[in-house]
Structure 1
Amino acid sequence: MKKMINNPENIVNEMVSGMLKAYPNSLRQVEDLPVIARKEKKDGKVALISGGGSGHEPSHAGFVGCGMLDAAVAGEVFTSPSADKVYEAIKAVDSGAGVLLIIKNYSGDVMNFEMAAEMAGMEGIEVRKIIVNDDIAVENSTYTVGRRGIAGTVLVHKMVGAAAEKGYSLEKLEEFGNKVISRTKTMGMSLKPCYVPTTGKMSFELPEDEVEIGLGIHGEPGTHREKMQSSDAHVDYLLDKLLAESNLAENDEVAVLVNGLGETTLIELFIINNRVADVLASKNIKVFDTVVGNYMTSLDMGGFSITLVKLDDEMKEMLKAKADTPAFKRF
């Protein structure tokens, strides 16, 4: 497998260094750690931190900036960052109003972020957490107790980040974040595995004429495999599952995220969104906002996910608020 890398052991450090050199006016590194933070603190603002294993870029460092995250902590490929790195990120971005951790529901991430919060608490920093569990495909998986956190995390970053920028307190931000999570539902599918450069192996095996429905972003098993069909057929299946979970009625408003897993082209993603929009319109569900692109990837995996978020007025305001980050901008 051809990849433009040097030593596999240096992938994360070189990636972080390259990103900082691309955005020197807005991003900074915390000490010599794989922690990317906003260059300027905003006094009196609750700081938001997210992160996880590398390989999901632009998640999460691509969303550090005005209107979204204050820092992102990168682990090794598909490996949770250690608690001490998260702890250093908390200390670096706290401006006195407390810190909210946005954690995808994977056992390693939850354990290490919670441990870091306890360490920060002993230093007098108030830290709270919200745990994203938007993946409706499976209840428990290889690395998870309960539902996994996947692409819907990006829209959680966006809305909670806007609320933090607006001046929400830590307590109010936690409450708002949990509301957003409860209304965010995602399901995806894979067309092919990804190549993991740190192991030199493919993440799993999948016959050329099959797809895996509900597969996780680290290659965790989904619900089942089936023969490859048309884009519309696969979209219809995923939407049926999502609509059943989302408690949507006529004239409800939603945000839609059509997310690529790394290899899937924008041509394909827009074809997918074309069907998503038509199906929702046929059910008189109003699309308030649509985001299409590669936001929560799995290295070079072929596949996509669809996220639906049932919106209220508060969430709509936050969704449309200004954001200025390397991977997500709103003006």
Structure 2
Amino acid sequence: MENLTFTMKQCTGCFSSAMEIDGNSQVAGSINRSNWSATASVHNENAGLSLDGNLGTQWTIMGQQEPGQWYQVDLKENQNFDLIVTNLGKTGDVPRGYVVKISNNGNNWREVASGENNNIYYVGNQNARYVRIEQTGTESHWWAIYEFYVLKSSSYDVGAGEVIKPDTTTPESTTKVPDTTPKIITTKVPDTTTPQLNIVKNDGQKITVKRGKIKKAKRISGKKAKIKIKKIEGVKNYQVKYSTNKSFKKKYTKTINVRKLNVVIKKLKANKKYYIKVRGYIEKDEVKIYGKWSKKKRLKTNNVF
């Protein structure tokens, strides 16, 4: 049988009205979670909070989303399922990008779904013991999982994540073999939450990093530029991002980490416009806390404008 990978767009907040939690902290129709265990690439000590039946607790990365972060659940035995639900009744805190993988032994993994900005994961009919969600995007807003459920979707109206089975009948006027791959119809739900770019709680206190600022940007030779960063109180680390694209698209952009205020950027292309911005960050308990990016500066490798 051919392996299928399903892709879904944003579905933030779906299912909040379609599912109910019973007295045993289970979603009606979900697989019993009483003996499950969870692990994570960061803050592994809190991974089990997404299986405790309490929407007031959660596992979270407590910092910026970076590719390679993951959350994994051991179902203890192989189970049949086609749907994974996280963040029931919550909005935001979703992975910027993701892939869902399953395994029977925890070593050999198979990808079954991918997408972005989601908390509902339709994976097709599967049988597996281990489920892993891997984060593939970059985002300053945290990723969190409040509660993690695995179930069959057949009893529910999945709303914005509804799976529409294709019509497999062959038209009388053609002998073309129909495409029987399941198609997913999605409705984009805007995320109205305001990302917390620079705040982390620490014993009730908030740690903030002020917005970055470039004091001066100038060319110092044909393919070099010098950036002077305004010092941010309490900050020793800075990021400098420069690009030939004013929207800082990844293909045309480079980012460097520095600990000094006067930075020389080398190996620039001649006669090109460059856009530059900076931000500060601090590191606390293995978590990086970022400030907002500065306003961008423009320069050209043969003159400043």
Is this a same-fold pair by TM over 0.5?
no
Which has the larger share of helix?
1
The alignment's TM-score, normalised by the length of structure 2, stands at: 0.26
- Structure of higher CA gyration radius: 2
The alignment's TM-score, normalised by the length of structure 1, stands at: 0.25
